[in-house]
């Protein structure tokens, strides 16, 4: 005890002046309890845990920190702060489109169109032979150079006559 500068004093129950700092702490705890329980003094034991937590996490000027930090060496985080931290971690994960659940792309191409069904359904095939159907509105054109050009043999083209086009 001498190593830490603590002196032990033996005192009686009815002489609180001997342990002055303890009485100051008890008075502060009593004030918190009085404000917490209000008129219903029977339920003080139900509120004791909350009052102790509030007392231990309140900054004390004489020691320059909270009692919690003095004992455990780190700041006490509120349950709401931990919940908030977890919420933001989940939100960051959902914004990462490579990991995100329903926002993640289910497929990416390029794919070959095998069949066009009525009402806009299109069947696509992958390089591994796996075929699947999608809505035609979800299809995007691929403008890469390595995909063969579409050749339509029955299509005929006619030159546009400028003189006829400009006249009525």
Q: What is the pLDDT of residues 31-83, one digit of tens each?
A: 888 888 877 778 788 888 888 888 888 888 888 888 888 888 888 877 777 77
Please say whether the beta carbons of 29 and 48 come within 8 A.
Answer: no
> How far is residue 150's CA from residue 110's CA, in Å, rounded to a whole number?
15
Alpha carbon 8 to chain centroid distance? 49
Among 128, 103, 104, 126, CA closest to 113: 126
Q: What is the pLDDT of residues 76-105, one digit of tens each?
A: 877 777 777 788 887 777 666 665 566 566
CA–CA distances in Å: residue 13 to residues 9, 18, 22, 27: 13, 10, 13, 16
Please say whether the beta carbons of 124 and 113 come within 8 A.
Answer: yes
pLDDT at 16: 67
Please say whether the beta carbons of 93 and 100 come within 8 A.
Answer: yes
pLDDT at 157: 57
Q: What is the pTM of this model?
A: 0.40
Residues 6+ apart with CB under 8 A from 62: none
> How far is residue 123's CA from residue 125's CA, in Å, rounded to a whole number?
7
Whether the pLDDT of residue 29 is over 70: the answer is yes
> How far is residue 123's CA from residue 115's CA, in Å, rounded to a whole number?
5
The mean pLDDT of 148-160, rounded to a whole number, is: 54
Domain boundaries, the chain: 2-73, 77-101, 105-150
């Amino acid at each position: 005890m001498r190593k830490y500068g603590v002196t032990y004093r033996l005192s009686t129950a009815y002489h609180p002046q001997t342990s002055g700092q303890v009485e100051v702490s008890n008075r502060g705890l009593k004030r918190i309890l009085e404000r917490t329980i209000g008129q219903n003094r029977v339920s003080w034991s139900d509120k004791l845990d909350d009052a102790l937590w509030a007392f231990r996490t309140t900054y004390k000027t004489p020691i320059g920190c909270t009692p919690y930090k003095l004992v455990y060496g780190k700041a006490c985080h509120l349950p709401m702060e931990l919940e908030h931290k977890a919420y933001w971690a989940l939100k960051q994960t959902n914004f990462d489109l490579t990991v995100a659940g329903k926002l993640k792309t289910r497929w990416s191409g390029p794919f070959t169109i095998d069949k066009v069904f009525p009402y806009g359904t299109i069947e696509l095939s992958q390089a591994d032979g796996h075929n699947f159907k999608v809505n035609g509105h979800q299809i995007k054109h691929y403008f890469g150079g390595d995909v063969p050009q579409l050749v339509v043999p029955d299509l005929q083209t006619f030159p546009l006559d400028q003189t006829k086009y400009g006249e009525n």
